[in-house]
Amino acid sequence: MDRKVKVMIVDDDKNIAELIDVYLKKEGYETKKFYNGKEALKEFERFAPDLVILDIMLTEIDGYEICREIRKISNIPIIMLTAKGETFDKVLGLELGADDYIVKPFDAKELLARIKAVLRRYNSKHSDNVKLVIPNLTIDISDYSIIYHGKKMEIPPKELELLYFLVSNANRVFTREQLLDKIWGYDYAGGTRTVDVHIKRLREKFNLEDSWEIKTVWGVGYKFQL
């Protein structure tokens, strides 16, 4: 590794932030702690982290809003950290572009494993530098951009990754479980509803008159029909 991986820790519980900070530094990461959302957003570009550990329940600006703002300028991995464990909170965080979700109280080794897994997936996708071109649609995974009917389209990172995977495996059927493993990772604790939500949102963005579509294969899963 040429340089240390930089991790931004955003949590208003100073004890938890300090615990994460100590553990990650021991593992060789460069870290910076923030106890409120405004300060974290202000310093985000200056610190230029490789990954953000983000608590949801923050004062002034909550973790959802911080995630939303980061996603406007960066695709780096975000792990949501919260005491909430309901499915709704998980789905909302992932819909906003978070890469993983871990519930307090957590084991430090589990958090470290999730950090490594998320970084591994992120780095493998960005080493591809592959551009997919089909009628009326260009997807470039190297810079997370989409051109649709000649116009640049804004699309959340996880939706783009899901679309990229389906297009690169056109006409092949995948179960929801397989898509979860491929896009969110085998260690993702959420349910298959996450896939359904992302597929629904993708379908809403595209024209039914195109020569391709994301099809539901009843009793199995989904495929990109080209």
Give the pairing of strands 221-225 and 213-217: antiparallel
C-alpha–C-alpha distance, residues 35 and 55, integer Å: 10
Q: Which range, 85-99, 118-132, 142-156, has the best average confidence (pLDDT)?
A: 142-156
Percent of the chain with pLDDT over 70: 89
Asked if 65 and 37 touch (Cβ cutoff 8 Å), the reply is yes
Please give the average per-residue pLDDT across 25-43, as a whole number.
91
Is the pLDDT at 192 greater than 80, yes or no?
no
Of 137, 139, 142, nearest in space to 206 by CA: 137
Q: The tokens of 173 are what?
A: 């059927």
C-alpha–C-alpha distance, residues 11 and 64, integer Å: 13
Size of the chain in residues: 226
Per-residue pLDDT of 74-89, as tens digits, reads: 888 999 887 766 655 6
Q: So what's the pLDDT on residue 84?
A: 65
Is the pLDDT at 40 greater than 80, yes or no?
yes
C-alpha–C-alpha distance, residues 30 and 97, integer Å: 23
Please give the average per-residue pLDDT across 128-142, as a whole number.
79
Is the pLDDT at 1 greater than 50, yes or no?
no
